[in-house]
Every structure is written in C-alpha cells, then in structure tokens.
Structure 1
Amino acid sequence: MDEPLRTHSRRWLLSRGLAAGAAVTVPVTLGALPASAALATVDMEQVLLACQVDPPKPNSDLTPGAAPHANIVEQALRAEGLLAAAQVDGHYGVATLSAYAAWQRSLGFTGIDANGVPGRTSLTALGSGRFTVTNLVTAGSRTDSYGGMRVNTRTANMLRAADQLVSSSIVLTQGSYTSDNPDSAGTHDGGGVVDIRVINLTTTQRWELVRALRTVGFAAWLRTPSDGFAYHIHANAISDPDMSRTGRDQVNDYYFGRNGLANNAADNTPQQYRVPLTWWERYQRG
C-alpha cells in the first residue's frame, strides 16, 4: 500500500528538488505535461479493480469503467521506460503488474509494497506532472485487529459495518497477513482476507451474513463440507491494496460469478443473498 515509506517518498521528492510544503513546479520530462496543461485524472478505485480483475483473464479484455484509468497509468509507466508500447492498452494484466512493481522498487519499496498494485504514495509519485489521483484507497494499519485476529484498519472497519447489518456476531477463525494454514493456498498471506465462524448459525443466518459482507464490499462465499471444508465464510475485501495475488484472483472469480475455488464452479449463493459488486469506499459513499 506504499504508505509505510512516507519518509522515503519525501527523500524521493527532495531528490527531485521538491521541498516538503513548498510550491511544486513540475519540470517537463518524458511523459510529463507542461505546467499550463490540464492533467488527466486517475480514479484509484478503478485502477485497483482492474488490478484484481484483469491479470487472471485468458485474454486482454478490458474492464468496463476501469480501462481508461488503467490506460493512463500504463502511459506513465511507458514514459518511465518500464512498459512496452504494445502493453499500453487499458488491460492491467501481468505485464502492467510487473512494470508497476518495478516502479515501486525504484522508489525503494519492497515486499508487499512492491506487489504491482498501486498504493497511494507510488501512484501519486507516478502521476507527478502527468495525472491527478482521485478516490484514494488505503489499507491503514497492518497491525489492527478484529476480535483478536490480525487485520488491517480498512478490513476491520468493513467487518464492523457488516456486523451492524445482521443479528448474529462476526467471529473470525483466521485473519490476514498469515500463512499458518496451508489449506488457504496463500489467500491470507496479504491483507483483506478473513475466515468467519458460522458453526453456531442457522442456514438462513449464514446466508444473511454472506449478503451483509457482500453489501459492504467483500467477495464472500459460504464454504461447506461439499467444497472440502468445514462450514465457514471466506471473505476478501475487494480492492484491498495489500491483498495477495491468490486473493486478488478470487476477486476475479467473484466478479465473473464463480466460487473462488480451484474447480472454478459457479457461485452457489442463492439469488436472494446476492448483491451487485461493490467495494468499501463505494459503499461508504452510499
């Protein structure tokens, strides 16, 4: 999510002659616009959507609404010499992920902060002189918790909001930023992914909880013994910038009405418990 490296980002700006708090005059460089020209606008929420939905696609189909914003980011990566011209197509696929990760590393980011998914700091830096960023998304603290389980602040806020929509209480059996459970296939390695206890809930309550989680912006499924699991709900906070690659691939599955499992079967959620795809920031705006 980039934010832990604010100090480095300040050094990055200083290395370009920009003092903190000073008026900024952007020099005209490759890919930059004259100061008098209007800058393009990049919606970070839409770029993050493309980051999740596009890479697992078997082709280069565009994601409606997200493609124009992904294209502007790709143009900037091309201007930095990190992306081939043929890949500037509005499809935020694996080539764009790799190019953006290289951009993050050039700013000094490592690990999860160089995963190819734009964070607030790196996207703003890439846009300097090229585009402005709207609808910023941040995961918040990575050491927050919900019911004693580690999650980031964004995920904790989403769980609290979902909890207000149901009569039962949300109890986590697995949090985020953990690789303790090999059955999770790496989905919990990053942020935004949790498992929720449902053993004490009725069938109706389980599905109502799935609907509540989806309402606030989770890709959520009820896992059952027929799936090879004990009963629980698996939920991915859509557009979490810290989410692992396997977690993001499950968001792709959710987007296309699949179950998020290796068999790629159709989502078995009853129609009355489904909601249109959304994410936390959009939900908050109402």
Structure 2
Amino acid sequence: MNQSPDTYSRRWLLTRGMAAGAAVAVPTLAATQTASAVGALAVVDMELVLLACQVDPPKAGTGLTAGCGPHVLPVEQALRAEGLLASGNVDGHYGTATLDAYAAWQRRLGFSGIDANGVPGRTSLTQLGSGRFDVTRVVTTGSRTDSYGGRRVNTRTANMLRAADARLSWGLTLTQGSYTSSNPDSAGTHDGGGVVDISVSGLTSTQRWQTIRALRTVGFAAWLRTPSDGFAYHIHANGISDPDMSRPARNQVHDYYYGRNGLANHAADNTPEAYRVAFTWWEKYKRG
C-alpha cells in the first residue's frame, strides 16, 4: 500500500527520526486568532482528531500524537470559547479533560449515551466549528444496525470486514459483533461500535496470522487471543477511529499504536513480524 505522511505510522515516523507520540509544533493561540482576524478559518482533519482521541487519553503525560496536535488545538480552543475547557488544557493533547469537555458539548446539543462519549461525530464537530474552523476528512459509521454474517455491526465495520475478507481465500466468521454487553469477558470493548470477535476454527496457524494481517491492512487493530491470554482461540479486532467505539476499546487502540497486546497487562504484541503492517485506518486504506 502506498505510504504517505498523513498515515503517521510508527514506521513512517521512525524514518524521519521521530518516535510515535513525539511532540510536534502546534500553532499558538495568538497565531490562530490572527488567522481568524483576516478571515481564514483553521482546518481540522477529523481523522487525525479521532486518532488523538484514542492514543492520547491513556498516556501518563500530555505528549502529542504526531501530526494530530494542530488539528486538536482548534477543537480545544472552541471548547474553551464555549466555557467547557480550562485554558490550561488547550494544548493539542486530546486527554481526559478534552474528552470530558467534548462530551459536555455533545450533551449541550442534546446527544446522550454513545453519542455523548467525548469523541467527535460529524454533526457535533461541524457545529462546534461553525465560524471557527472547517472540518475535512469526515469519518462516519453509517447505520448502527447493519450486520456481517448475522452479527450486528455498523456499516463502516461491515465494509472493513468485507475488504479484509476479500484479501483471504477463506471467509470471516464472527462470534461476537458490536453494540453488545452480553459477554462480561469482553470488559466493555464490544459495548460500542467497531469491535468484533472472529472465529479461527478450522484455520491453520499460518491462516490465523494471515487473517490478522488482512484485518490490520484495512484498518483494524487485531490480535490473536489464546488460552495463555485466558481466552479460547479467537481474533479480537477493533476498527481504528470508529467514532462509536467504547472507551475500553479505544484504549486497546492506544496499545496497538505502541505495539502492545490490548490486554490488561499491556504486554508486547505477540504477532510475528511477518504479519504486522504499518498503523493505518479504514479511510486512509481506501485512499490507497
């Protein structure tokens, strides 16, 4: 797949001497106000704001996710202007304070439940940006009542699964879909959108890893779960940057970004190097 700077993969960053999560230059508040004064609105890339929503909150500090800070900052400035975010948190880091402030903005608009999870959706972000910034690269989930193999998923996830399936000579069989809290072993990861479990029954070890690679290629954070992890063999997959994703699932994407396993022990990813791919997400994959 063609790689370009807006993928912001770990591999791409390392080739430029930057570690994933390294700080990047962020426009100052004064500079943004000056631009507004002459009629130029900031441009907010929703894909990169969503990436920061997943990678930033679990961090111990307030470091920026590479490439994301300049797009998070106008969102935080707007939240500050709405009286929802303290000025000390207007820093380009989409941490827990920004999540809480954005959730308050969503509730102010009349949203509730998963629509007030602190993660920007198209409607809330566009309304926040009115007269302040323009939104580009919009991410949408589509219908929340779509399905794949009889399991409930949203349209974005269904499209991702079809694309991964097309890369394999065997089919994907889901054992658990999204928007369900029926399995306590899932620790809330399936409560929102974008998350599925996939059967590996009848697959060889190589086929299991090839399935992981196909899922990761189209934008899933995917891992093989094993008895040594405390699970029956299956694949757990999170559609990176799904706006409906639950917080526990978003925290798993944080782990994936940093090469970890998405479990409570945050151990190293057990995927063999031959089956790993550069960090990406569905919309980037579609651009090629």
Q: Which TM-score bucket, shorter chain as reference?
A: 0.7 to 0.9
TM-score with structure 2 length normalisation? 0.87
Matches within 5 A, 1:200-239: 200-239=202-241
Match of 1:127 in 2: 129
Name the aligned partner's letter for residue 100 of structure 2: S
Residue 32 of structure 1: how far off its partner (Å) = 11
Larger Rg: 1
Match of 2:283 in 1: 281
Residue 168 of structure 1: how far off its partner (Å) = 1.3
Matches within 5 A, 1:15-164: 37-164=39-166
Name the aligned partner's letter for residue 75 of structure 1: Q
Residue 200 of structure 1: how far off its partner (Å) = 1.1
Match of 1:198 in 2: 200
Deviation string 1:97-151 (CA, Å, 9 cap, x unpaired) is 0000000011000110000000000000000000000000001100000000000
Distance 1:33 1:111, change over 3 A: farther
Partner SS, residue 281 of structure 1? helix
Which of 167, 170, 174 is the matching residue for 1:172?
174
Residue 69 of structure 1: how far off its partner (Å) = 0.5
Alpha-carbon separation, structure 2, partners of 1:227 and 1:162:
25
Distance 1:238 1:91, change over 3 A: same
Gaps of 5+ in 2: 1-32
Residue 72 of structure 1: how far off its partner (Å) = 1.1
Residue 199 of structure 1: how far off its partner (Å) = 1.6
Alpha-carbon separation, structure 1, partners of 2:234 and 2:210:
13
Deviation string 1:209-242 (CA, Å, 9 cap, x unpaired) is 0000000000000011111111100000000000
Gaps of 5+ in 1: 1-30
Name the aligned partner's letter for residue 246 of structure 2: S
Asked if the contact 1:33–1:129 (Cα under 8 Å) also holds between the matched residues in 2, the reply is no
Name the aligned partner's letter for residue 58 of structure 1: A
Name the aligned partner's letter for residue 131 of structure 1: F
Residue 33 of structure 1: how far off its partner (Å) = 8.2
Partner SS, residue 254 of structure 2? helix
Asked if the contact 1:150–1:175 (Cα under 8 Å) also holds between the matched residues in 2, the reply is yes
Alpha-carbon separation, structure 1, partners of 2:34 and 2:87:
16
Alpha-carbon separation, structure 2, partners of 1:205 and 1:35:
57
TM-score with structure 1 length normalisation? 0.88
Distance 1:198 1:68, change over 3 A: same
Alpha-carbon separation, structure 1, partners of 2:206 and 2:171:
14
Match of 2:250 in 1: 248
Asked if the contact 1:219–1:254 (Cα under 8 Å) also holds between the matched residues in 2, the reply is yes
Alpha-carbon separation, structure 1, partners of 2:275 and 2:125:
36
Residue 251 of structure 1: how far off its partner (Å) = 0.2
Name the aligned partner's letter for residue 266 of structure 2: N
Q: Please, what is the CA RMSD of the aligned residues?
A: 1.3
Deviation string 1:152-186 (CA, Å, 9 cap, x unpaired) is 00000000000001111000000000000000000
Partner SS, residue 176 of structure 1? coil
Deviation string 1:6-56 (CA, Å, 9 cap, x unpaired) is xxxxxxxxxxxxxxxxxxxxxxxxx89869601110000000000000001
Name the aligned partner's letter for residue 197 of structure 2: D
Deviation string 1:44-78 (CA, Å, 9 cap, x unpaired) is 00000000000011111110011111111101100
Q: State the percentage of identical aligned residues.
A: 77
> Paired residues, what number?
256
